[in-house]
Each structure stands twice: as C-alpha cells, then as structure tokens.
Structure 1
Amino acid sequence: MDKFFPIAPMDKTAKLMSGPLMTILAVCTVGLIWLIPYLFSPRGYKVTPEGIIIQLKVSSHFISKNKIKSVKLVGLVKPGGGITWLSGQFGYAGLFTLKSGSMARVYATCWDNMVQIQTDNIDPYLLSPQDPTSFIKSVEELLNHK
C-alpha cells in the first residue's frame, strides 16, 4: 500500500525566490550575459590614412599608423586565457595570455590565420581578417606612405 505525502507549503524565502519578479530578474541577467559580449565583439577592421580602426558593435578601437612597427601573418595562435573583456560567444576582444607565455590584445573571431600588429606597446595586437593577405598588403601600403 503506497502512501503519498505532499511537500509542505513554501516559506517566505522560497516564495520570494520563485516569484515572478525573481523570474524576470533571472531572465534579464541571462540576457545581459549574452548582450554585453555581443555589443563589444569585433565586427571588422578598417585601414584608413590615419591608421587601423577596429570596429566593435557599439564602439571602435584605433591604432595610429605612427605607432605601428610591423605587421605579419602569424597563422594559428594557441590562446591561453582571457584577462579582460570577452572570450568566445561572439568573438574575442581584450587582453589575452597565449600558450607561448606572451600576451596580446586580441580583436578576433577565430585563432586561425591571425595577423599580428606590433606597436610601441609591449603587447601586440592579434586580428583575424577574412583575407589576411589583402589586409597585410593594405597596412604595409599605409606604413609606406608615412
């Protein structure tokens, strides 16, 4: 003979935590976790006569041509971990450690065919343009017209 025993009614804390307000806050929090990385993810690169503009969804980052020392294709880069900003959901942006032990400012969507921009700063930039060869050619043309 089976006997069923219902659970006790929720106390005040349980009612508060399972109420509509908490559900809305949880949904909004999850939404922000996805929205913020999307807003600051890399969208493209523009080579202008003044330098390189790294376009993010809501802002941009500028590398002056006067600060660029070199540009080269470095191919596959093995990441370590992200130190600042975002990593993974919609791309990579911010300061990263690399498996080689160095650090880099990464504005990319993949770790294959990376382009390294060395500037006055110690940490290079790593970018992932769709056509790295054309991008490098454009930056070299920019640097030759100083």
Structure 2
Amino acid sequence: MFAKIALAVLALAAVACAEPGLPLVAAVPAYVKAVDYHARPHYSFNYGVNDPHTGDHKSQSETRDGDYVKGQYSLLEADGTTRTVDYTADPHHGFNAVVSKSGHAVHPAPSGLRRPRHPRRPVAPLPPPLPTATTANLQPDS
C-alpha cells in the first residue's frame, strides 16, 4: 500500500515539474567550419596643427599597405628648429627612421640674476653630532 502511494506522489511530482511544449529531441547545431580571414590592411591619413596661441606646430602623414608602412611627422622644437622624421616599417627591414632638423636654433640672451627680496639671515649652527657605537668601542663579554 505504501509503495502505491509513493508511486502516485512521484508521478504527480513529475507531472508538476514537466513544462508543456518542450521538444522530445534536443536540436543539435549544424557543424560549421570556422575560417580565419584577415583582410590586407590598407589605410592612409594625415593631419596638421598650427596653433600660434599655444605654440603647437606639428604635422603627420602615414600610409599602410599590408605589412608596409611609410610615414613622416614634423614638429617645431622649443629652440625654433623643425624636427622632421621620415620612417618606414616592413617585415624584412623592420622599423627605420631618418631624423633631420631644419632652421636655426634661437636661444634667448641670459638675463641678469635677480637679487632676493629679503636679505638672507644667518642660521643657527647645528649641535655637534652625538657619539656613535663602533666596533672599537665594544668590549667582548668575558
């Protein structure tokens, strides 16, 4: 009798847990072979900045075709000269850059030293250092 009741309770639990509309067979995804495709990279850009307010003057241009890159950038140095860097990069030769400077460096004339606003006051001397223990001062325990 107990076995029949237990079987009925288990059957009710199974019916309560079952969800309607579920397929009896699980769908298996179709096998698709993944193929890596790497497009040959190709780009070209250039830009320039000419800001007299901040003194920022620079430009850059670059072109890439596959593994070959060629470019140039230039900037105005603090001394008034223009630094230009022409560079190339490829798998065979690596990265190569040629740096050139144009123009003449302008350095401002040094101005005279300014005197301090307040006269310097003498500082009190430091106290003599305290003696420190050295190996010569230590006596072995007897």
Q: Fold match, TM over 0.5? A: no
TM-score of the pair, normalised by structure 1: 0.24
Q: If each structure's helix is expressed as a fraction of its own residues, which one has the higher value?
A: 1
Relative contact order, higher structure (CA 8 A, sep 6+): 1
- Name the TM-score, length of structure 2 as normaliser: 0.24
